[in-house]
Chains A and B, each alone.
Chain A
Amino acid sequence: MELLSNLAQGFAVALTAVNLLYCLIGVVLGTLIGVLPGIGPVATIAMLLPITFNLPPVSALIMLAGIYYGAQYGGSTTAILVNLPGEASSVVTMLDGYQMARQGRAGPALAIAAIGSFFAGCVSTLLLAMFSPPLAEIAFKFGPAEYFSLMVLGLIAAVVLARGSLLKALGMIVLGLLLGLVGTDVNSGTQRYVFGLPELSDGLGFVVVGMGLFAFAEIVRNLEVTETREVFTANVTGLMPTVKDLKASWKAILRGTGLGSLLGILPGGGAVLASFAAYTLEKRVAKDPSRFGKGAIEGVASPESANNAAAQTSFIPMLTLGIPPNPVMALMIGAMTIQGIQPGPQVMTQRPDLFWGMIASMWVGNLLLLALNLPLIGIWVRLLRVPYRLLYPAIMLFCCIGVYSLSNQTMDVVLTAAFGLLGYLFVKLDCEPAPLLLGFILGPMMEENLRRAMLISRGDWSVFVTRPLSLTLLLVAAVLLLMIVAPAVRKTREETFQESAR
């Protein structure tokens, strides 16, 4: 019953008027920056850090946390409505979300994203409350060998993400891997494909590549077609999902929540990887994978649940160990340090008000977000009536501000524009950029961890099969590979990939 008394203490903290207010400010801000493409939680939290110094620590952290998971709610909005990812973690939501919007089902798509996120938020908050310390230990079980095997699995799964020709998908993955090579080699400090530009020496930014290939390219592509959106704003059929929709998506929400919760705990995992993995899994287990990419509601429900679950569980290593698994958590650690609270294992025991207050606030925040987002759907759908000539320059502007704010470099904006052109070329060549992005995320992590594992094992390759976790991951990858290439399942594969491109 200790849990109940702890939670009671947490809610006593989270439900004070002042903390409720900061929670509300956090989630509203989060939703807002989630909706605005390019502007992410990292830049927002960094900007707000000096302000939080003058707040009580608990209120400050409650607000900053709200920004992060609030952004996961908001990120799906533009992804579904105008095929532009509001947040990096909502890139895969576009694949089916936008198709749903084209069919006049923007309302249900937005609603299922909000409902899925809420469910995932509740479950992962409960996980956080009940199992934080044992879950945090998972991070320690994952050494370089395990990460490498996990990346292998991810790379093979990336093929499933593809639509259209398998060859093109493979090409895109390899191109993603190659783009991941840009930057300073971790082991030797050698500069690769940097061309003497210091801005490139830390590699290409994920947001730069993602926003270029998806957001900028989409805007360019739309310049060549005359406005035809009336088609899908005219026949908007209801704003809420039907019983049939809910029946189709509840399992996807469950799977997304589970996968997201797990990937959130792992350093380097986080919301982006979780959403990709959840979508891939959903397509893999679907009875009729051909519906994906054509407006399957599971393709929205699952990744949106996953990214919110991951956003939430990534607090576990931060709160219980003081170890940040991603840049947002690094900022939260910074916010704690600035307040004079030493992040680490002792936070739970020495500052239970902070630990349990934050956990309780996450549940409150998720409830606020649901209450906030469901009524907003009507307004967002109406946004579709704004003419492109007004909407797109505005989006473009926010994209540029967001990309610049990543590390205050104009070079990043220029690079995003270049990737925009590349993305337009891909549209013309009928190549899907999603596998490229996954290759781009996985490639550098795979290389680093392979070399790290080999250094630690002193060149002994057997390390990948003698460590049980690593072996399991490799076996799953092998099974997946067999399923893709084996002639017996060839036909299903054809169904999976030979879908008509949009």
Chain B
Amino acid sequence: MVYGHQFVEWLASTSGSIALHESTYVYTAVEGTHVLALCVFAGLTAMVDLRLMGISFRAVPVSEMMNRLVPWMIGGFVLMVITGALLFYAIPVRTYENVFARAKLVFLILAGINVWLFHSGIYLRMNEWGQDPIPPKRARIAGTCSIFLWTAIIIAGRMIAYNWFDNLFV
């Protein structure tokens, strides 16, 4: 943890970080883009998750929905990671110490594991169940985990902004 702290202290001392932190419009634009990208990525992810859970869009094949929407989801995700990294770069030390930022990172890793398990498992046999109105259990579980993990990620992400939690658990 000592090295992590030294790293974020150094990051905060770089001219780019200071410029981003002190700019009014660039920081605002980056944050606004982060939220819009979130809408694209998490919104479409939620739609695919609802389909995977067998709750909505049963007339639309899962395979169609995933294949057609994945480019949009990847685009939204890349934009979200870039703007998210910039937001961290603007306020490194506080974010590093923030309990909600840490929780968000844990949920993000869990969401990544969920995607990996899904794609290395039941997804490989999608030609067998891709047309079914209600997908198999393992696909429904993956969809459910995804929707709850992203809910947690969004709530934790929103909480990072509030400094009154800063010294809660540190």
Q: Please indicate whether A and B come from the same complex rather than being unrelated chains.
A: no
Residues of B whose CB lies within 8 Å of any CB of A are none
